[in-house]
Amino acid sequence: MPSTDLLLTFNAGSSTVKIGIFAMDGDVARRIGKGVIDFRAEPLSLSLIAGPQTFETPLKAETTEDLHGVIDETFSLLAEHFDIAAVRAAGHRIVHGGDRFTSAVALNDAAIDAVDALTSLAPLHQPQALRFIRALRHLKPHLAQTASFDTAFHATQDDLVRRFAIPRALHDEGIKRYGFHGLSYKFIAGELRRKAPRTAKVVVAHLGSGASLCALDNGISRDCSMGFSTLDGIPMATRPGWLDPGVILHLAGQRKQSFAEIEDLLYHRCGLLGVSGISADTRDLVKDGRPEARQAIDLFTLRIAGEIGRMAATLNGLDAIVFTAGIGEHQPEIRAGVAKGLSWLGLAIDEKTNGANDFKISTRESRIAAHVIATDEEQIIAEEALTVLGSG
């Protein structure tokens, strides 16, 4: 029997990469495996799921800047479980596409250079994705590669929503709201069309280490809590979310902190970690009995509830809320905290279904629905890659 063509996806975060293995059945991408490499671990290891089996394999390669050794060894390990010779393409998640990239593209030299030119807009994530793109080019120079952009889904937002109150010339230079987590929101929009087709005005809460919210009107993005950068919006694991610009002026002026010090503070020492002084992980904070941990959780849920209220104004109404990503899918305590802050909207959570992470967690009497839907960014990357390859 001839081998089925395979497609790999690379979802690179700031410190991890999720690898999806998909079978290409015509114009359908069917997941057959997935892996994760955590670059914070010592030694590195590949966590791999192949069918019903799970493997944890240490990596001998060192984490060099070009990642050649890591990619080479990863492919060798994947070949023990999949027909790697049948891999025809690789799709990548790119956090920032600016105004140039409003859909997935094939990665040729010009496209890679254009993605690189946007690095200053996403300094935590863009370099990681580029490392994997270039490492794959080195290992398999003839392998087709595509890019899917987190910002592209939000290109439908009105110009007024995307503007800051700054001089028009700066807006025209690209200083505007872009929105992120678009691949996740695109997947959720598709799931809502399938599971709750009559639901029109929805706020989706993508709650993970990075967190944001998106206002959907019949599956179309109308607003997003993240704006110009991934620092914006609600508090995150180690990022502050909204912050008065005067704080930055104070740190740079009165306290004489350098750009590098301020950047490190904003990306790595704020958010839940900064408020609690204990942990960046909501699972740890929920279990911790200290008041600082409780305050971090309360601030997190307060800001989420407040942002949902703002987005209801953008949508001119609200039919439902969707919780997704690691925290949103698996932590009933966080969802209940958000719902408590939205009782004025008539939201009522069912304790039993919420505790079970069911699809619908609101009561029958609730004036708006609340859902839990698992997201799958790699599925969207794979589907967009097939679209690009089909059109090319």
Query: Catalytic residue numbers?
Result: 150
Is there a binding annotation on residue 281?
yes
**Four-CA torsion 110, 111, 113, 115, nearest 10 degrees:** 160
Both tokens assigned to 32:
């057959």
Binding residue per annotation — 328?
A: yes
Residue 283 annotated as lining a ligand binding site: yes
Residue 18 annotated as part of some ligand binding site: yes
Ligand-binding annotation for 354, yes or no, is no
Sheet of 87-94, strands arranged across: 53-58, 45-50, 28-38, 16-25, 6-12, 87-94, 144-149, 105-106
Would you say 108 is a known binding-site residue? no
On whether 209 is known to bind a ligand per the annotation, the reply is yes
Helices 377-391 and 182-195 cross at an angle (nearest 10°) of 100
Residue 351 marked as a ligand binder: no
List of residues 6+ apart from 58 with CB closer than 8 A: 43, 44, 45
Q: Is 93 annotated as a binding residue?
A: yes
Quick one: which of 9, 253, 235 has its CA closest to 132?
A: 9
Q: Please check if 207 is assigned to a binding site.
A: yes
Answer yes or no: is 329 a known binding residue: yes
Q: Is 335 annotated as a binding residue?
A: no
Tokens matching residue 296: 């971090």
Which residues does the annotation place in the binding site for ATP?
18, 206-210, 281-283, 326-330
Which residues does the annotation place in the binding site for Mg(2+)?
11, 377
Which residues does the annotation place in the binding site?
11, 18, 93, 206-210, 281-283, 326-330, 377
